[in-house]
């Protein structure tokens, strides 16, 4: 197939992703608006209900209370409109070191997270990071980009097919999809992860948690992670770069933590 046709198809797909824009908490331009906030909240509610129906919940009362303590301390510092959300959490009996937060105020924590989050500051770093994705409208952004990318590939395939035939249309879809994934969708995911680090680390400090906990958490994560795909195909930042950035920010956020503690915001979650 003519490589110009592939380039045309990818360029068309990218150009279709011109939609509503907003500014993220770190100042970058975001493409959003494929779904409404009400729809996002409903999707979050449905996903949360499905997770609780398909994954066993932990019956460990102490661990549930511990997670709840951290969640309440972090969410108490949220600005509007997230301060008006009724945040709900669930602790799942799952050995994976993972957690997530969804639009609509839903938080899921897996018991496996305790393997890498060994104290309240590290657990707060996990939970604040995941809430950071919600605050930064990353779910809206990802849905919007995927919707418009798929729409663009459909248009590009039709254009290539009309000029070069059915085989060209199929190849545009296959190669265009791979190129979009490698240069459009996944890199944005890395940006989102870094942004959630920024938002989450500040949020945990405002709640009185030690921002150094984010550094030690991701150091533990990197040690437990094992093999990784090449950075350009990863949805997470390079671990070494991530640690350097977290460490640099932690120094500046110590004063934020201390100010919170001076106001009586000193979490004691165990």
Active site residues: 130
In whole angstroms, how large is the CA radius of gyration of the chain?
A: 21
Which residue, among 58, 43, 40, 62, has the nearest Cα to 136 in the 3D structure?
40
Q: Distance between CA 232 and CA 99 in Å, rounded?
A: 24
Task: Measure Cα distances from 157 to 72, 150, 186, 208 in Å.
Answer: 49, 10, 21, 53
Cβ neighbours around 153 below 10 Å, total: 23
Task: Measure Cα distances from 207 to 38, 106, 128, 242, 260 in Å.
Answer: 28, 19, 10, 22, 6
> For the chain, how are helix, strand and coil distributed in percent, rounded to 5?
65, 10, 25
The two tokens of residue 90 are 């669930």
DSSP class of 77: T
Q: Distance between CA 143 and CA 150 in Å, rounded?
A: 11
Helix H or strand E encompassing 107: strand 106-110
DSSP-assigned beta bridge partners for residue 176:
none
Tokens 């494929």, residue located: 34
* Length of the chain in terms of residues written: 270
**Are the beta carbons of 179 and 11 closer than 8 angstroms?**
no
């Amino acid at each position: 197939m003519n490589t110009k046709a592939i380039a045309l198809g990818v360029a068309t797909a990218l150009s279709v992703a011109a939609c509503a824009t907003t500014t993220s908490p770190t100042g970058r331009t975001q493409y959003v608006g494929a779904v409404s906030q009400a729809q996002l909240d409903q999707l979050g509610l449905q996903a949360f209900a499905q997770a609780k129906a398909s994954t066993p919940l932990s019956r460990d009362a102490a661990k549930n209370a511990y997670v709840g303590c951290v969640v309440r301390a972090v969410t108490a510092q949220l600005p509007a409109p997230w301060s008006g959300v009724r945040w709900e959490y669930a602790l799942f009996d799952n050995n994976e070191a993972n957690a997530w937060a969804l639009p609509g105020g839903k938080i899921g924590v897996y018991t496996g997270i305790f393997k890498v989050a060994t104290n309240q500051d590290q657990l707060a770093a996990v939970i604040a990071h995941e809430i950071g994705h919600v605050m930064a409208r990353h779910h809206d952004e990802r849905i919007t980009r995927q919707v418009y990318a798929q729409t663009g590939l459909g248009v590009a395939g039709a254009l290539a097919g009309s000029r070069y035939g059915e085989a060209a249309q199929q190849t545009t879809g296959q190669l265009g999809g791979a190129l979009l994934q490698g240069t459009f969708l996944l890199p944005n995911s890395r940006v989102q992860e870094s942004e959630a680090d920024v938002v989450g680390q500040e949020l945990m400090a405002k709640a009185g948690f030690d921002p150094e906990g984010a550094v030690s958490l991701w150091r533990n994560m990197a040690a437990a992670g094992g093999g990784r795909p090449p950075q350009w195909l990863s949805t997470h930042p390079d671990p070494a770069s991530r640690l350097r950035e977290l460490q640099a920010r932690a120094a500046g956020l110590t004063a934020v933590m201390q100010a919170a503690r001076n106001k009586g915001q000193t979490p004691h979650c165990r």
